[in-house]
Amino acid sequence: MNVDVQDEGDSGSGQAVAFTVEENEEIHVLHPQQIIAYQGPSSGRADRLMDVKGMYRKRKLIRSDMTGPCRFVAALPPGYRVKTFQLDGKSDLLYDFRHLFFYSKGVTMETRVLSMKNMLVTRDIIKVKFSGPGSIGILTEGTVCEAELHPFDPLYVDAGSIIAYPENAKLELTVYGNHLASQHMSYHWKMTGHGPVMFQAGRQSRRFERDNNEDGVIKRFLREVLPFGGVFIK
């Protein structure tokens, strides 16, 4: 299977993702309404009801099973991209299932339930661990960044920007910096452990545009000065 992200350089027009699925290959697309072009036998696409777990995790009812040989193109909204990960059966990264765009035949999933405190802050209930062999495609907002965890020197990452992190990681929701900094920033994960952490830059870009283009001076001042103003004043 080949996945080609076609980017014309205009962030306002979104992206197109072209898939080439070879014979005897199959992938499951969880946003079938984004498929805008298809070439192959009519029987190569079969839409199915997701199982109960899939409906709950994804908050969607239908998935498309695409069987090769075929080619198709999916459209992404402005600001979104698909990041493809090849699984080798050794990765222990945890993902948010809601961000899953596709996965190939043979990929299996295990759920991990978050603590109650983390549920309340992040509004997430579970994370998903994928095992292969196979590939998955994750929807991201903006550029994907990667940093390596250290067992003692913590990494602070905006909680809403995390894409994936190792299952062995130790996480603590917190803020950092001096008094003023900790008052107006969003919650961050304080992370230690071993392995890579992946996070996206697009959420912060939207916040930057909002702050500079839409809000008045008073609202921006209150968001910066009031305790946790950046969290509660939208």
Query: What residue ranges do the domains of the chain occupy?
Result: 142-223
Which tokens is 98 given? 């809601």
Which tokens is 51 given? 């199982």
Using the predicted structure, report yes or no on whether residue 127 has a pLDDT greater than 70.
yes
Using the predicted structure, report yes or no on whether residue 224 has a pLDDT greater than 90.
no
> 42 vs 23, 39, 46, 68, 105, CA distance in Å?
14, 9, 9, 11, 19
pTM, two decimals, is: 0.77
120 pLDDT tier (thresholds 50, 70, 90): low
Instruction: Give residue 171's identity as a one-letter amino acid code.
Output: L
pLDDT value at residue 11: 53
Q: Does domain 142-223 have CATH number 3.40.50.800?
A: no
Of 121, 220, 120, which Cα lies nearest the Cα of 175?
A: 121
Using the predicted structure, report yes or no on whether residue 20 has a pLDDT greater than 60.
yes
Instruction: Give residue 115's identity as a one-letter amino acid code.
Output: S
pLDDT value at residue 131: 86
Mean per-residue pLDDT, 86-109: 87
